[in-house]
A and B are shown apart, each in its own frame.
Chain A
Amino acid sequence: MKVLVPVKRVIDYNVKARVKADQTGIELANVKMSMNPFDEISVEEALRLREAGIAEEVVAVSIGEQKCQETIRTALAMGADRGIHVLHDGETEPLAVAKILRALAEKEEPKVIILGKQAIDDDCNQTGQMLAALLGWGQATFISRLEISGDAVSATREVDGGLQNIELALPVILTTDLRLNEPRYASLPNIMKAKRKPIDQYTPEDLEVDPSPRLRVLQVVEPPGREAGVKVETVAELVDKLRNDAKVI
């Protein structure tokens, strides 16, 4: 069985995003970029499926500019077997990404596709669900537990009220939540090995997908800042301020 893992190159989670002066987007020049943290969790889960003998091959896919190959290499260094890069400069929206992934799924015929629940840049939380719809597969989103045995899939989902358990059958789309696993670090020998692993390249046109965005971004601005607060010395002073100045208790 093959597992496909879409990995997105995003601004590193430690970097505070800055709005461009012309209000057209986020300043990404000379900013540290990394693999979307949820996608590291997806890669880890796929590797564990392979190590458990459930999967034979783990394929990492990224869609975007040439530098996405670095993100794919990160997945390969963690242990993925090979990569696919769909080269596209400019913006991609979840629907277009899902269509590209559908085309790749039809070529590669994986039984499991593991995506992050959200990318930490656009926070859309859409791609996995859209891909599931396009393929007509079942979906287990925001999962914190996964078991696969034969064709049967059992998963626990993190939902607003707590946890939800569902069962599905392969093929399936999974999206990962934070507590599914703790991703491994790539060891130096594996980083070296990853350099020799193959990465196939396509364009959206090769896959007959029109990647042009549907949404028009009119402007991107900074949110209103908060006014500087004050330090209080004692608990009694705090309660007094909350009661008499802020009037919130």
Chain B
Amino acid sequence: MAVLIVAEHDNSELKPATLHAVTAGLAMGGGLDLLVAGHDCAGVAEQAAAVAGVGTVKVADAPEYANGLAENMARLLVQVAADYTHVVAPATTFGKDVMPRAAALLDTQQVSDISEVVDADTFVRPIYAGNALATVQSSDAVKLITVRTTAFEAAETGSGTGTVAALGATGDAGLSRYVGSELSSSERPELTSARVVISGGRGMQSGENFPLIEAVADRLGAAVGASRAAVDAGYVPNDYQVGQTGKVVAPELYIAVGISGAIQHLAGMKDSKVIVAINKDEEAPIFQVADYGLVADLFKAVPELEEELERQGYGT
């Protein structure tokens, strides 16, 4: 048994999602290596070697891996996979883009978005927007797996004693070209790893009202999320979307403001430890999953919440 984790990074920093995939990989048994494919990414390789449990960090450093394009990444994965029984990546947009392409080239039926490792061949994954959990068994010689990061703790970093080994590059497939990115920048924590998340829905009425939520977020050190309706209406950017077809979050505390609680939204947040709902409609389905429900007009309740937190000394 040998497990390879495909690291997600931006050529300077290892993304936390990778650490969750490592924990899942360790549960599959056997030795565990990490693949860092990028360009000028020696710093990432060093960080990867310090992750607890990592044996070898295999580094493919070449221009064709600079932006993680699936066509180039999949070619590399196919070559590297020969030495492994499991190839594992986080179920982020990066992992979702790259892994199925490699799986098809290896003639393997990928197992997507696992939330539990039962044994080396058997995994649990949520289906139907998390309304069911399927236990599936793979008999493929090399298993390709993506991991729901919120279902596994982050592996410890700093204490690892991995060694770094260079890999030959596989060349540019010449099928796609990276042009550029428009990334949201925020001082707030990242949505999928934040301890507290506060999300706004259609009830917010406009993007101009999101600062109400942001003020609370800043008191609690929280990330800000949104329902699809709020994103579609242009209140906030696409990467705020929580749900079945957006991001899955499982913070200690999730506060849903002006969100009705559609199945697709619940799929992305119902594993949060504590859920708070603020909604003026007491029949809203969100109250069925909320630990604490406040039936109120958000335009009154949210500013009040911020004031109360301030009074009690939260944040600045």
**Residues on A facing B (Cβ under 8 Å):** 11, 13-14, 16-19, 26, 38, 93-95, 98, 117-118, 120-134, 136-142, 144, 154, 157-169, 177-179, 213-223, 226-227, 229-232, 234-236, 238-239, 241-243, 246, 248-249
Contacts and interface: CB of A to CB of B under 8 A. Distances in A.
Interface in B279-316: 282, 287, 289-296, 301, 304-305, 308-309, 312, 314
A144 to B, nearest CB: 7
B232 A242 contact: no
A123 B94 contact: no
A139 B112 contact: no
The DSSP consensus for interface residues of chain A is mixed
Contacts of B111: 215
Nearest to A121: B128
Contacts of A231: 282, 287, 292-295
A16 to B, nearest CB: 6
B121 to A, nearest CB: 9
Contact of B100 (A94, A217, A218): A94
10 contacts: A133-B100, A133-B104, A165-B178, A165-B180, A215-B137, A217-B134, A217-B135, A223-B133, A230-B293, A246-B292
Interface in B146-184: 173, 175-184
B215 interface: no
Contacts of A241: 292
B216 to A, nearest CB: 11
Interface string B226-251: 00100110000111000011010000
Contacts of B108: 95, 214
B19 interface: no
B301 A235 contact: yes
Interface in B34-81: 67, 69-71, 74
B136 interface: yes
Given A133-B103, A141-B96, 17 more contacts: A94-B110, A95-B107, A95-B110, A123-B244, A124-B100, A160-B247, A166-B177, A214-B140, A215-B137, A215-B138, A220-B135, A232-B294, A235-B296, A235-B304, A242-B292, A248-B253, A249-B220
A12 to B, nearest CB: 11
B117 interface: no
B181 A133 contact: no
Interface stretch (B25-33, B199-207, B267-275): B267-275
Contacts of A229: 275, 287, 289-293
A125 B92 CA distance: 11
A98 B104 contact: yes
B97 interface: yes
Contact of B132 (A129, A139, A220): A220
A38 B244 CA distance: 12
A221 B133 contact: yes
Contact of B184 (A137, A162, A215, A217): A162
Given A17-B132, A141-B97, A216-B137, A239 B183 contact: no
Nearest to B130: A223
A118 B245 contact: yes
B127 A166 contact: no
Contacts of A122: 112, 127-128
Nearest to B98: A129
A129 B294 CA distance: 43
Contacts of B96: 125, 129, 141-142
A124 B244 contact: no
B100 A125 contact: yes
B262 to A, nearest CB: 9
- Those 5 A-B pairs whose CB atoms lie nearest each other, nearest first: A138-B175, A130-B104, A129-B100, A17-B128, A214-B109
Contacts of B244: 120, 123
Contact of A139 (B101, B127, B178, B184): B101
A216 B111 CA distance: 11
Given A120-B244, A168-B176, A239-B308, A139 B71 contact: yes
Nearest to A17: B128
A112 to B, nearest CB: 14
A185 to B, nearest CB: 17
A215 to B, nearest CB: 5
A10 B71 CA distance: 29
B252 interface: yes
Contact of A123 (B127, B138, B308): B127
A16 B102 CA distance: 33
B183 A161 contact: yes
B196 A249 contact: yes
Contact of A239 (B131, B247, B290, B309): B309
A217 B136 contact: yes
A165 B276 contact: no
A243 B312 CA distance: 10
B232 A134 contact: no
B176 A138 contact: yes
